Copies of this chain bind each other. A is one copy, B any other.
């Protein structure tokens, strides 16, 4: 086949794949937000068929040959070579799976969500345990088809964050433990920050009224985005101008929906800012999970918990809740947003204790895949680790092992990227603050200009560069976790007068 025809064939294939990907994304968003529960089994069965169709298209041997040649073709342009390299890595592992097993696994994953939701509602891990067991067994089987001889959990970690491994994360978490556990112990013993006003009654309709103002501040509008509600907040995207986020309102917690929205809109903004010439291509995704999480957590923690961020917004929040916040100063409010208290639920956790929630999940996943842990009685192990690392007693499975959606769709190896992302963010912010006056821009309502820095140095590239290349290009040096640990130490030493 001539070069031109090959390229046309490759591009047509990319577009076709993106059509199926779009359908599956919208079906997933629909399922998680609005779809009537009674239709779940019917829909899941058909989503599995569509996944199977996409699998057949993706694993077409003729396309694999084209990709194999393109990935090192000196005549191909850089974008094409990079995209072929990324597809090659994915397809090398995907095409060895028998299609019927792939479809069965897709179906299992869809059903896993329903089982988890039911178990969580009833706060009963035993209802989810057989599903989790099966998800792990089937994951092992699926990974078993690969040619790699590396331990399965190593491969999983590398899938979510290219270049990482058990060795990498062990070192990272050792550092985290070494510096944060003593710091948390000091914070726990210090004079506590008053947060009680955050947990009064905050009617959901009024929270929604303020949400409109927050979304305006974040420059998230209906021309390119949409916000819905769901049990577990998430972000998904179709293309540059179609990025969806969800949130969850708690009637006795004013900070939860706001902070989770700043977080999710951070993900959405990353996708929205990727060079639109990559739309529909593999290059148009954020480059890795930790890089994505670095952007959402940068927005949530490094911007959304600062006084500058709230300078113009807080008076509007007070207006919505005069009884609850009218007499609370902005300093007291911002201090409360940053208070660190070891707690039960990861998504509600503060910035300081958050990485320990991840450490617990990392240790459990590692144990499940090296055989030192099994799914039976895993809720007990969970509770023991929460006692060990965070000193808290888990009262039930809903707030314990069933709190997160991730294992229900077999996303093993995903959690560690959350902690790594927080650490990436610190390094970006360190450089950004040298380039622009972040606090001044935030206080003046120019959130978009802060995003502009990120767009230029991180977002625009999508997958065109590796995570390591993005980090070095943006900050001038390789990833260094000390920026993160220094930041936390400095911040909490000041906040708690240690």
Distance to closest chain B CB from A14 (angstroms): 11
Instruction: Enumerate chain B residues within 8 angstroms of A27, measured Cβ to Cβ.
Output: 22-23, 26
The answer to whether residues A242 and B50 also contact, given A34-B226, A226-B34 and a CB cut-off of 8 A, is no
A49 touches B223 (CB 8 A): no
- Our pick among B35, B49, B223, B238 for the contact of A43 (Cβ within 8 Å) is B238
B239 touches A42 (CB 8 A): yes
The proximity string for A residues 14-50 relative to B, scoring 1 for CB distances below 8 Å and 0 otherwise, is 0110111011001101100011111100110111011
Q: Is A224 an interface residue (CB 8 A)?
A: yes
Instruction: Enumerate chain B residues within 8 angstroms of A226, measured Cβ to Cβ.
Output: 34-36
Q: Is A241 an interface residue (CB 8 A)?
A: yes
* Interface size bracket, A side: 35 or more
Q: Which residue of B lies closest to A47 (CB)?
A: B19
Instruction: Enumerate chain B residues within 8 angstroms of A19, measured Cβ to Cβ.
Output: 46-47, 49-50, 53
Question: CA–CA, A193 to B27, complex, Å?
Answer: 48
A15 touches B49 (CB 8 A): yes
B18 touches A224 (CB 8 A): no
Q: Which residue of B lies closest to A30 (CB)?
A: B26
Distance to closest chain B CB from A329 (angstroms): 33
Instruction: Enumerate chain B residues within 8 angstroms of A225, measured Cβ to Cβ.
Output: 36
Question: CA–CA, A175 to B396, complex, Å?
Answer: 70
Q: Is A273 an interface residue (CB 8 A)?
A: no
B15 touches A242 (CB 8 A): no
The proximity string for A residues 204-245 relative to B, scoring 1 for CB distances below 8 Å and 0 otherwise, is 000000000000000000111110100000000011111110
B242 touches A43 (CB 8 A): yes
Q: Is A280 an interface residue (CB 8 A)?
A: yes
Question: CA–CA, A23 to B25, complex, Å?
Answer: 10
Q: Which residue of B lies closest to A16 (CB)?
A: B49
Instruction: Enumerate chain B residues within 8 angstroms of A244, measured Cβ to Cβ.
Output: 34, 36
Q: Which residue of B lies closest to A29 (CB)?
A: B30
Question: CA–CA, A280 to B46, complex, Å?
Answer: 10
Distance to closest chain B CB from A396 (angstroms): 25
B223 touches A37 (CB 8 A): yes
Q: Is A365 an interface residue (CB 8 A)?
A: no
Q: Which residue of B lies closest to A51 (CB)?
A: B19
Question: CA–CA, A38 to B225, complex, Å?
Answer: 9
A20 touches B50 (CB 8 A): yes
Question: CA–CA, A15 to B48, complex, Å?
Answer: 11
Q: Is A110 an interface residue (CB 8 A)?
A: no
Among residues 116 to 153 in chain A, which have CB atoms less than 8 Å away from a CB atom of chain B? none
B228 touches A38 (CB 8 A): no
B228 touches A39 (CB 8 A): no
Q: Is A279 an interface residue (CB 8 A)?
A: yes
Distance to closest chain B CB from A417 (angstroms): 27
Q: List 21 A-B contacts (CB under 8 A).
A: A18-B46, A19-B46, A20-B50, A22-B43, A23-B50, A26-B26, A26-B35, A29-B30, A34-B226, A35-B226, A36-B223, A36-B226, A36-B242, A38-B223, A39-B238, A39-B240, A39-B242, A42-B241, A43-B238, A43-B242, A53-B53
Q: Which residues of chain A have a CB within 8 Å of any CB of chain B? A: 15-16, 18-20, 22-23, 26-27, 29-30, 34-39, 42-43, 45-47, 49-50, 53, 222-226, 228, 238-244, 279-280
Question: 9 nearest interchain CB pairs?
Answer: A39-B242, A38-B241, A19-B46, A19-B49, A42-B239, A23-B23, A39-B241, A38-B223, A38-B224
